[in-house]
Structure 1
Amino acid sequence: MNTVNAAKPKLKTSAMIASIASEGQRTRNAPFGNALVELARQRADIVGMTADLGKYTDLHIFAQAYPERFFQMGMAEQLLMGAAGGLAKEGFVPFATTYAVFASRRAYDFIHQVIAEENLNVKIACALPGLTTGYGPSHTATEDIAIFRGVPNLTIVDPCDALDIEQAVPAIAAHQGPVYMRLLRGRVPLVLDEYDYRFTLGKAKVLRDGRDVLIISSGIMTMRALETADALRKDGVDVAVLHSPTIKPLDEETIIREASRSGRLVVVAENHSVIGGLGEAVAGALLRAGVAPAFRQIALPDAFLDAGALPTLHDRYGISTDAMAASIKGWL
């Protein structure tokens, strides 16, 4: 019998949609919705829009505070993006929310033609990025960054935690042009406040230094990278973590500088398919700069993923803390 698995508690169906926060971890509730309400107090041009998913993208908090600035578009993601573009042309700054799978697959053409080609000031905030739901391929947006990286004018942001989201909301509102932001909703972990962190659009930040391994990460994988660094320190492995919340434009200067330090294994960790995401963006930047460290990726496979409880799936697909630590030790 596998004693490790036997020692783990039996998971319920709710684990398919549970918060990614570990038991006892510090969290903040609905950081996106609360940050947008605070921003709207300061700016009368901020409006909120959704396609029947206000409660599930934390936009319901904005709707309660500013009902006259909230637009419920129904189950019509293409209409949502088209209307957001129209409001942007009238001088508003719409925050349009849905699930990442619906924005990237169902409404792609409208985002491309109506919003990005016109360089309109629409902010698209999408919940359930990557493997943050266990409902299978219909809900897991494992390829959203790959889909959107090729769209001109479109900025892509992948926040790590509640603090990252709270700071990113006013930053992307101040940015002129369309933004796609991956969104963590509900009870969101809080980790970056321990690292003197401040979100800056287009910039990566070294959260901790280390001589043996450099993990370059975005989104929830930065939280996992920090946990992995703590775990590997017990084995005498010194791990640096570079958080890159902006995928496009990528902070190539910081990434190249950190990856150029000799003797370190460079690992890119992302909650996204191994195809077309942060890992390939970093690899391309390093090759163009003539920098060639030992390089590995921790990412989701190029496959349709199983349905199930998130802890189980994170272990299965290599993005849990234990799986990351094991992979890195193996590579070393």
Structure 2
Amino acid sequence: MTESQDQAEIFGGGAAKLRDKRSFDGSDVSSVPAFVFGEELAELADSDPRIIVLTADLASANRATDFAARHPERFFNLGIAEKGMITTAAGIASCGYVPFAATFASFSALLCAEQIRTDCAYPRMPVRIVGHHSGMSMGFYGTSHHALEDLGVLRTFAELTVVCATDENHLRAVLRAAVDHPGAMYIRLGRGRDPEVYAEVPDITLGKAIRLREGADLTIVATGSEVRPALDAAESLAAQGISARVVDMHTVAPLDVDEVLAAARDTGAILTVEEHNVTNGLGTAVAEALFEGGARAVPFCKHGVPDEYIPVGPPAALYAKYRLDAPGIAQVAKELLG
């Protein structure tokens, strides 16, 4: 067993934070919103007969039950047959419908990579693959259920839009934008109960980042579950005299290259933050944009999970271990600035 896989520290170590109530499931459920995936799609389906929802025996986990209750004739539970679900969704899309196929991100993106590429992206079928509980949010379930490689795999597929939802209201905006978006799409969710970033449903454009906070000393480019802690880190840095811009790079493919180049032009450094392996994820995409766009040289750091299989443990403790919480991000930013 390697040092990084030492389970004793996670389950029985001296750190009190590993045993507090928040650490057991990774979030304070008393202060976060409900999973709105099924509810929002049910609302959209009231006026759009094209919307279909499929899941692979996880209707309760992703709240597709909310859709099934209102549109049972347009809901399909295919059981534990994820590959078949994606191919079925592609067939449904070929008949003029807009199917949303949802399962754990580790299954949808990794197990079904071939089906996403060949059945959905290549023929430009309007299938919306929804990968929920991404990253290490299913901490105790182990490596088979962690999805820390999905962005790296799927952003290489031509004709596939890859989007990370930030919070409840942002997910609503993404689902609304997805209905008429051309071609296939992968929508990456966290636990679906993520802390608020957007007080209201934002007006988004897929492929266009959202600048949430201005700053001059560095830019923190974050996506998905890391946007809220990035904002909190920026607040902490401001109290220490460091001015940090924060960008929600919700669309990883295609990337908003103009926003990346603006960060290099306007600020003194760039830090990318993602709940994903640092190999070939958001950080790599931003680095490519900087290099190919001829940006001026700035200090740059890809911050995420190292290229390793993470320990089994409570998500909140894992975020702290890998410095993907607000204090950790702030510390990495200070190290980058020297």
Name 1:288's counterpart in structure 2. 292
State how many pairs are aligned.
322
Change (3 A) 1:139 1:7: closer
Taking the TM superposition and a 5 Å limit, the aligned residue runs for 1:87-236 are 87-134=92-139, 135-193=141-199, 197-236=202-241
Q: In the aligned structure 2, how far is the partner of 1:315 from the partner of 1:243?
A: 21
Residues 224 and 321 of structure 1 are in contact (CA less than 8 Å); yes or no, is this contact kept in structure 2?
A: yes
Shift in Å, 1:307: 0.7
Gaps of 5+ in 1: none
Residues 137 and 191 of structure 2 are in contact (CA less than 8 Å); yes or no, is this contact kept in structure 1?
A: no
Q: In the aligned structure 2, how far is the partner of 1:294 from the partner of 1:9?
A: 33
Q: In the aligned structure 2, how far is the partner of 1:114 from the partner of 1:323?
A: 40
The alignment's TM-score, normalised by the length of structure 2, stands at: 0.90
Residue 247 in structure 1 maps to residue 256 in structure 2: no
Name 1:261's counterpart in structure 2. 266
Taking the TM superposition and a 5 Å limit, the aligned residue runs for 1:313-332 are 313-332=318-337
Residues 266 and 295 of structure 1 are in contact (CA less than 8 Å); yes or no, is this contact kept in structure 2?
A: yes
Q: Secondary structure at the match of 1:115?
A: helix
Q: Secondary structure at the match of 2:46?
A: helix
Change (3 A) 1:265 1:116: same
Shift in Å, 1:24: 6.1
Change (3 A) 1:24 1:65: closer
Q: In the aligned structure 1, how far is the partner of 2:303 from the partner of 2:192?
A: 26
Name 1:39's counterpart in structure 2. 44
Residues 264 and 270 of structure 2 are in contact (CA less than 8 Å); yes or no, is this contact kept in structure 1?
A: yes
Cα-to-partner distance string for 1:26-50 (whole Å, 9 max, x where unaligned): x321222211111111200100001
Change (3 A) 1:6 1:79: closer
Cα-to-partner distance string for 1:197-236 (whole Å, 9 max, x where unaligned): 4322110011110121210111011111101011111211
Q: In the aligned structure 2, how far is the partner of 1:105 from the partner of 1:244?
A: 22
Q: Aligned to 2:276, which of 265, 272, 283? A: 272
Q: In the aligned structure 1, how far is the partner of 2:98 from the partner of 2:275?
A: 28
Cα-to-partner distance string for 1:83-112 (whole Å, 9 max, x where unaligned): 001100111110000111111221111111
Question: In structure 1, what residue type is equivalent to 2:258?
Answer: E
Shift in Å, 1:265: 1.5
Shift in Å, 1:189: 2.2
Q: Secondary structure at the match of 2:76?
A: strand
Name 2:19's counterpart in structure 1. 10
CA RMSD between the two structures: 1.8
Q: Secondary structure at the match of 1:187?
A: coil
Residues 89 and 101 of structure 2 are in contact (CA less than 8 Å); yes or no, is this contact kept in structure 1?
A: yes
Shift in Å, 1:130: 1.0
Gaps of 5+ in 2: 1-13
Q: In the aligned structure 2, how far is the partner of 1:252 from the partner of 1:59?
A: 34
